Amino acid sequence: MRAGFPDFRLGPVLATSFTGTLSERFGDSVERLPVPERLADWLAVSGLAVDSCTADQLALARELRESIHAAATAAALGEALPAAAVRVINDRSARGRAAAVLTPGGGRHWRLGPQSPVEDALGVIAADAVAVIAGERDGKLALCASPTCRAAFFDTSQSRSRRWCDMNTCGNRQKKARFQASRRKAPDPAE
């Protein structure tokens, strides 16, 4: 990992983890992919290692990220999917030529092509978004209850009632704010 950049917030679902590379969308936003090298870092920690990324590839990645976020948000709210977002997701998915290969240990690994590894990696992310948004996985899309975050996440909890994209950040921040507000309202026992 490169020093001087915010940590990645990785989750179990590739597509929604990718949208998490921009957090606090409605507050003081945090861009976790400010330079092409950080896109290469994120792809590596997500099992899609590439040698390098260009500024143009970073722009394609951000466009895909925002399209996935827009479509996932609409799906979570039960609204029609934005046509422009669907077009971008489908285009990136169709252009990718990555192949899923079985590792000797029985796991899945993505083999990216030598001609366009970044585009292939974006294709894997887009295909994952298609599966999640189309409802092909056991779980449901939801939006973080934090008014400054509103990240789309995939809820696989048994009750499907998770409220936070990440309990360690948004959930704890909201719990702390509620606690502090209740302390301010409570009468002073010394009086």
- The predicted-structure confidence for 92-112, as pLDDT tens digits, reads as follows 999 999 999 999 999 988 999
For residue 46, the one-letter residue type is S
Q: Is 153 helix (H, G, I), strand (E, B) or coil?
A: strand
Question: For the chain, what is the domain count?
Answer: 1
Phi, psi (degrees; rounded to nearest 5) at 94:
-70, -30
Minimal CA–CA distance to 25: which of 171, 143, 163?
A: 143
In this structure, is residue 105 part of a structural domain?
yes
In this structure, is residue 59 part of a structural domain?
yes
- The single residue listed with the structure tokens 């990785």 is 10
Asked if pLDDT for residue 76 goes beyond 80, the answer is yes
How confident is the model over 1-41, as pLDDT tens digits? 566 777 787 888 999 999 999 988 888 899 999 999 999 99
In sequence order, the 6+-apart residues with CB closer than 8 A to the CB of 121 are 43, 48, 50, 96, 98, 110, 112
Q: Which structural domain, as residue segments, surrounds residue 59?
A: 14-185
Contact by Cβ (8 Å): 23, 151: yes
Six-digit token pair at 146? 């934090």
In this structure, is residue 5 part of a structural domain?
no
For residue 91, the one-letter residue type is D
CATH number at residue 40: 1.10.3300.10
Report, as an integer, the average pLDDT of 160-188.
70
pTM of the model: 0.85
Provide, rounded to the nearest whole percent, the portion of the chain with pLDDT above 90.
59
Asked if pLDDT for residue 178 goes beyond 80, the answer is no
d(CA 170, CA 148): 9
In this structure, is residue 149 part of a structural domain?
yes
The torsion defined by the Cα of 143, 82, 118 and 106, in degrees rounded to 10, comes to 60
